[in-house]
Every structure is written in structure tokens, then in C-alpha cells.
Amino acid sequence: MDAPLWRSHAPSSLRRILIVLLTTALALPLAVSAPAQAGGLDDVFAKLLVKKVKGTNVQKHLDALQAIATANGGTRAAGTPGYDASVDYVANKLRRAGYKVTRQPINFVEGWTENNPPTLNLTAPAKTWVPNEDFFTFEPSPPGDVTAQVQGVDLTLPPTPAPTSDSGCQESDFAGFVPGRIALIQRGTCSFAAKIRNAGRAGAAGIIVFNEGQPGRTDAYPLNIGEWRAGVPMIFADFAVGNELANTPGATVRLKVDATLDLGTNENVIAESRFGDPRNVVMAGAHLDSVPEGPGINDNGSGTAAILEVAEEMAHFPVRHKVRFAFWAAEEIGLLGSDQYVDKLSAAERDRIRVYLNFDMVASPNYANKLYDGDDSDGVGSPAGPPGSAQIEQQLAAFYAARGLPTVGTDFDGRSDYGPFIAVGIPSGGIFTGAEGIKTPEEAALFGGTAGVAYDPCYHQACDNLSNIDATALDLNSDAIADSMARYAFNLRAIPAAAAAPAAATTLKAEAAS
């Protein structure tokens, strides 16, 4: 039998402290339930872990990721040797630290070609719509040729003056949907990809999404939504097409897509502690891939390196709750790694994940310390996260406040890997230091840097290399990650028990998606 990690790895002086901590954790469970920041065991452990996490060690991981990119054509993008080498690097580090490491295969679109224009014909009364004018194939639609009755899904017709449709955004919208029919879905609120996935789960044989109907939202156009997993042909149609189908009782259509879809495989890296209560999982994640254009040292080498250092140091300590670290594949092409991970979880497995913390870009050169707005107190964009998300934001904010440092909120806009977790009701939060957005004068006054300039001027470019990092932000935010992970590893009292995903949680916006 393997020796406990805290016994085999920790220095003798630290080991004595940990034995006391572990004894206290087992003998005095009420102490663990003490509120965070109140001097309980979680507070002791957090201070110890923050002290152990070093910015210099985080930087060493960044150096390694840069070396991997340099040796592989300057990139670590999904589907490249640079990504595969990145997986090997983090998996080996985590395995040596003592974690149970799983390399989870996920799929992504490696190639897609439309061989012939699509077909959409109404059978009775007979009518043919013009391909690539009245409707377009969603890239990367699988091929398919189906003739079936159309069934509308929670349509808002006539459309309201301002966009309000959330057709197909919730799985509950498909209550009563007859498997084998073609789903007719209206654009609005959530991403096209979310609508497609929900339709596929409901058993649709084909999918027609039509534009919502307001001025500027009437015509269809070519779109790559990165989603294929419904496994059926899918198109985007003009409002006029969808409106006519919705108002034709018993409408039956032939829908055909002639395309070639090639799928590639990459891997998520999932590392789990060998100790802690498996009924309560504390999870942190960062995407491991870069864009093809560059090495991705800030986006998202910074998040990767930070949680890897936290994981390595955390492996030396006993924890009360199971701890899990995830390094996501293919985030840059549609959150594919995190989305497929969450999609494969059973309801019971989802319920066991009590918190998910996301770290995507934590060292932007013109940084602001932004915390995901779990309670929607900023009133911007998407609604509040699932119950518990507000408490995550507060816990992170407390770390900075204790050091006399400010933070600002940032919207759950659906652009990073928290999205799939929020969609199934898992409390989420995290840190973000900014991407291509422009720093405001108010933020410059709070954090320094230059107003009127992007937080990361090298966002998604070849220059996102080792020179594109703010070392102070990297060190500070690595400590913030350590602080919250340590506290939740011992104390989840502030986080509500798992509940069904709230309706608001499934209405995350995605860039250019609704």
C-alpha cells in the first residue's frame, strides 16, 4: 500500500504540523465548519499553502510551456504536437506529485467540407427554398438526409420588439418533443451550440434554427458554431422560412446536408487527490491549449502554470474534501474539453462537484484583477451564477481585501470553461485579468497600467510569449488560487447543497452566438 502523500513528501517539520492539522480535522469536525477567514482549520491551511506556492515555480512552468511551443512550430493549439507535449508535461508533473491522473479523450473538428449545397423542401404543399440564400448549412454539420415532420420548440411568434426568445435554451423546452421529428428552433438568448445539443438529446432527426425576426435579425448567413454532437443535419434559416414552417400545420420537410466531417482527438488532463471525501469535490480548471497563432503563454499558460503549482504544493497536505484539477483541451475552438467533460458526468457526479473555480488568463501585462460576478451585482450581461457562485466571488474578494488590494467584477459571458459547469447548476467563479478589452481610466487608477490600451495587447497573437506576462499579477493571483482552493478543501459550509440547474444558469451568452 502506498504511504499517504502527506507522509511521504512533506518535510519533517511540516509533516508534524500536518499531523496536528489532520488530527484536528478528524477529531473536531465543527472546527472545519467555521466560516472562512475566522481562524478555523481552513484558515490555517490556506495561509500555509499560500506560503508554499511560489511565483518563481509558476514561472518555471511557463518556461516549460514556451519551450514546448518553440519546439513545435510556435504553438500549443488543439490537434498539434505542441498540445500533445503540453499534455505530457502536466500529466507527468501531476502523476509525480501523487495524484490519480486521467487523460480523458475528447473530440474536435479536424476538417469539414460541404460537398454540395443543402436541401430544404416542404413536401405538402410543395415548396423549395433556395440554399445559401434562404438557409445555410451550419458548419460543421454532420451529413444526413431526413424527411420528417417539423415540431416547433418554445417559439416566440410574432417576435417581440426586442430579442427575448430563449427557444431551445433549456432541456425542458423539449418536453413533449417527439423523437424522430425535425426540431424547429428560434434564435435568441443562448448559443446556437446549446440549442443544437439540447435538440440532439431530445432525439431530433434534424435541426432548423431560424433567425429571431427583429430588424437586423431576419436573414440567415454562414456560421461555424463548432458543434456537431447532435449527429444530425442542421441548418440556419431566414426568419421568413421558420415563420412559415411554424404556421403550416403538420409541416413535413426534407432536410439534406451533403458534407464530410473529420473528427480529431485530444485529451483533457484530470488530476484528483487520493484522499478527501469523494461526496464533496472542490475543482479548479484552466485550459491547456493555445490558439494556432502563438504559444499562448498568458492565454492560457498563466492559468495552467498557476493551478499546476498549486496542485503540486497541495499534494503534500491532507484535505477534508476531494480536490480535482482539470487542464482542458480545445477551449479555443469552443470550450470542447470542459463541455464534453461535463456532458459525460452523471447527475450524481455533477452534484458531488460543490465548487468549480476557473482560471483563464491571470497575468495579463496591462492587468486588472477581475472576479467573475457570481451574484450579478454589476448588473451587466448574463444573470447570476448558480447558488454558491456569489459566495465564491466573496471568498476570492476577501483574499485581495486582506492585502488592501482592489478587485472589479467581470461578467459570466460564456467565453471560458466555467460555462458548461454553470449550465448544469454547479457554483462557479474565478479570476480573469483581461483579454482584448480596453482598460478603463478607473481601472488604471485602481491597478496601474495604461488606460485606453488592451489588457493583453498580444491576445491570440504570436507575441503571447514569455514577455507577455506581468510577474506581479502572476504571483498574486497564484496565491489567490491557493487561498481559495485551500479553504474549500476544508470548508464548504458557505456553499449550498447541490440543486437542479436554475433556468438563468442556462442562458449564458456566447460571443457571436445568440
Q: Which residues are catalytic?
A: 331
Report whether 485 contacts 359 (CB < 8 A): no
Q: Which residues, in sequence order, are bridge partners of residue 210?
A: 186, 237
According to DSSP, the β-strands at 428-432 and 370-372 are: antiparallel
Report whether 86 contacts 330 (CB < 8 A): no
How many Cα atoms are found within 13 Å in the side-chain-facing hemisphere of 186? 28
The packing angle between helices 81-97 and 55-70, to 10°, is: 150
The span from the CA of 209 to the CA of 182, in Å, is 10
The span from the CA of 427 to the CA of 341, in Å, is 16
The span from the CA of 382 to the CA of 396, in Å, is 20
Grid cell in block for residue 165:
426568445
Percent helix, strand, coil in the chain, to 5, is 35, 25, 40
Residue 305, SS3 per DSSP: helix
Residue among 305, 357, 355, 300 nearest 331 (CA): 300
Alpha-carbon dihedral sign for residues 330, 335, 341, 343: negative
Report whether 298 contacts 469 (CB < 8 A): yes
